[in-house]
Chains A and B, each alone.
Chain A
């Protein structure tokens, strides 16, 4: 075999890897879609689950939205504030390097461990019960490092010239951060928060341990209510249902989850582009 043939085989092999990678997403989407579309009906989307595999998934849809929204509401301000400190105020020394190491490690922490901690500490010790609040707080443990990292990167990307110009006009550091740096960094920060929301939305282990059983037949009425989520519902129907009906419901709920996830991703893109356009050409 001559060198050119070898070269071509390698090229073809690498190209095939890319094709496989690209195909994974559409294959999953089409598979889930074709298996799940059959159960999608008005009743499925607006009803409540009963007798395990009957009824609808409305409380689960609302539960997922509540969990994710509350998680962001709690996590985003804390994350952005930490990012501001790390990017703008923290001196580069052992302490901040340790803080960075902590957030990086937290980012890679297996979610089942975070869930277990949430169960033991929030649910039992702080007596939050298996509830919307316990679930959202645990989820925010998981998304917080991602928010911090995305926001810190976005803040650091703001050109130094903007800061110089603001300070030279007699603005204080905080005025500069608030009026110049954060608006300029906002596309990155918001994208980070939305991607964190997407991650939280798809999380199963954490909510399974901290927020509810998954088959709740009611929409949570307070922070202390047990709250079902789509991921738990899918998990339960796929693992404990023994009929093809429960499997197709799991696929139906997956389809809904996918659509919600894509809505978040697309809005992340839209927000980003909107801000970039508003900021004008770079």
Chain B
């Protein structure tokens, strides 16, 4: 069979995919959003719509602002003193940058997983329980259940159920990263931001995390920053290509990789720069 031929089954699947992606509702909406670190204009006039319950990946060369883009959603950039913004970012109907926003509530709604696995130097259990305790969401028996539920969702429960009291730092890198995912899920967020979550991991651990992402999209809106093109193509439904602070192109992953509209995008995905 020729690779270009389309079988009826595959055609059906494509239609289904199209429906699943196009039918999704907007979850995170950027409107004319700009961000500066001091004099440095890092994000320029960003206007994109990220849909719920699919995986959206943000790709681009180092320094293009993709991590800043991600951190703009849960206002983690606020930590940097000279950071300024203009424009809006909405989660559902709520402007994240409105004055009366409780940033701690916001960050509870939006989970984040970082490039380097960063479990706290505490037990596996305490790591997952941390956010739940901070927000006073559960204790005792309920807390145990929340911890177990989160570890199961992160596909880690079977590996750690008998070592919950051990230091999280004794886990392997891949397990640590799934623990960080479990820790983020434990506070019951709506959105999961992942900032190059596999860049410090080996291929097997990476495959596990990617499978996990696929299972998480049913419940969460997943936004993934990656500089790994194959990863973006493999796991995401929609992809944004960023270059020097701008979103150059944003669309369905399949379209973006097969028929990029902009030359810059094509040059990037064909490896002419990166």
Residues of A within 8 A of B (CB): 91, 159, 161-162, 164-172, 175, 179-180, 183-184, 278-282
Give CA–CA (A168, B78) in the complex, Å. 11
The CA-CA distance from A144 to B37 in the complex, in Å, is 37
| Chain A nearest CB, measured from B197 CB (Å) | 13
Segment among B16-24, B108-116, B208-216, B218-226 that sits at the interface with chain A: B108-116
Which residue of chain A has its CB nearest to the CB of B167?
A280
Among B76, B135, B167, the residue within 8 A (CB) of A279 is B167
Our pick among A91, A168, A280 for the contact of B107 (Cβ within 8 Å) is: A168
**Residue contacts A-B, CB under 8 angstroms, 6 given:** A164-B112, A165-B118, A166-B120, A169-B183, A172-B104, A279-B169
Closest-by-CB residue of B relative to A165 is B118
Which 3 A-B pairs give the minimum distances between C-beta atoms?
A280-B167, A161-B118, A280-B169
Decide: A171 near B104, CB < 8 A? Known: A166-B130, A278-B167, A280-B169.
Answer: yes
User: What chain B residues lie within 8 Å of A166 (beta carbons)?
Assistant: 120, 130
Closest to B126 in A: A179
B187 to A180, Cβ gap below 8 A? no
**How far is it, in angstroms, between the C-alpha of A169 and the C-alpha of B104 when the chains are bound?**
8
> Which of B79, B130, B166, B184 meets A179, CB within 8 Å?
B130
With contacts A166-B130, A169-B184, A170-B131 known, is A161 near B104, CB below 8 A?
no
In angstroms, Cα B168 to Cα A137, docked, is 42
Q: B187 touches which one: A159, A167, A170 (CB < 8 A)? A: A170
Q: Are B134 and A171 in contact, with the CB atoms below 8 A?
A: yes
Given contact pairs A161-B116, A164-B112, enumerate 7 new A-B contacts (beta carbons under 8 Å). A167-B76, A169-B108, A169-B111, A175-B134, A280-B167, A280-B170, A281-B170
Closest beta carbon of chain A to B180's beta carbon, Å? 7
B130 contacts A169, C-beta separation under 8 Å: yes
The complex places the Cα of A282 from the Cα of B111 at a distance, in Å, of 25
The verdict on A170 contacting B130 (CB below 8 Å), with A161-B116, A279-B121 known, is no
B-side contacts of A170, CB under 8 Å: 104-108, 131, 134-135, 187
A242 to chain B, nearest CB (A): 58
Q: Which residues of B contact A171 (CB under 8 A)?
A: 104, 130-131, 134
Does B246 have its Cβ within 8 Å of any Cβ on chain A?
Answer: no
Inter-chain contacts of A169 with B (CB < 8 A): 107-108, 111, 130-131, 134, 183-184, 187
Q: Which residue of A lies closest to B112 (CB)?
A: A168
Determine whether the beta carbon of B135 is less than 8 Å from that of A165: no
Q: A184 CB to closest chain B CB, in angstroms?
A: 6
User: A179 to chain B: which residues have CB within 8 Å?
Assistant: 130, 134
Would you call B114 and A161 a contact (CB within 8 A)? Answer: yes
* Bound-state Cα–Cα, A200 to B170, Å: 39
A169 to B180: give the CA distance in the assembly, Å: 11
Q: Which of A162, A165, A183, A280 counts the most B-chain CB atoms under 10 A from its CB?
A: A165
C-alpha spacing A161/B176, complex, angstroms: 13
B130 touches A168 (CB 8 A): no
Q: Kindly identify, within residues 88 to 139 of chain B, every residue whose CB is under 8 Å from any CB belonging to chain A.
A: 104-108, 111-112, 114, 116, 118-122, 130-131, 134-135
Q: Which residue of A lies closest to B74 (CB)?
A: A168
A175 to chain B, nearest CB (A): 6
* A71–B180 alpha-carbon span in the complex (Å): 42
User: B81 an interface residue at 8 Å Cβ cutoff?
Assistant: yes
Q: How close is A126's CB to chain B, nearest CB, in angstroms? A: 41
Determine the distance from Cα of A159 to Cα of B116 in the docked complex, in whole angstroms: 11
CB distance from A146 to the nearest CB of B (A): 25
Residues of A within 8 A of B170 (CB): 280-281
CA distance A65 to B134 in the complex (A): 40
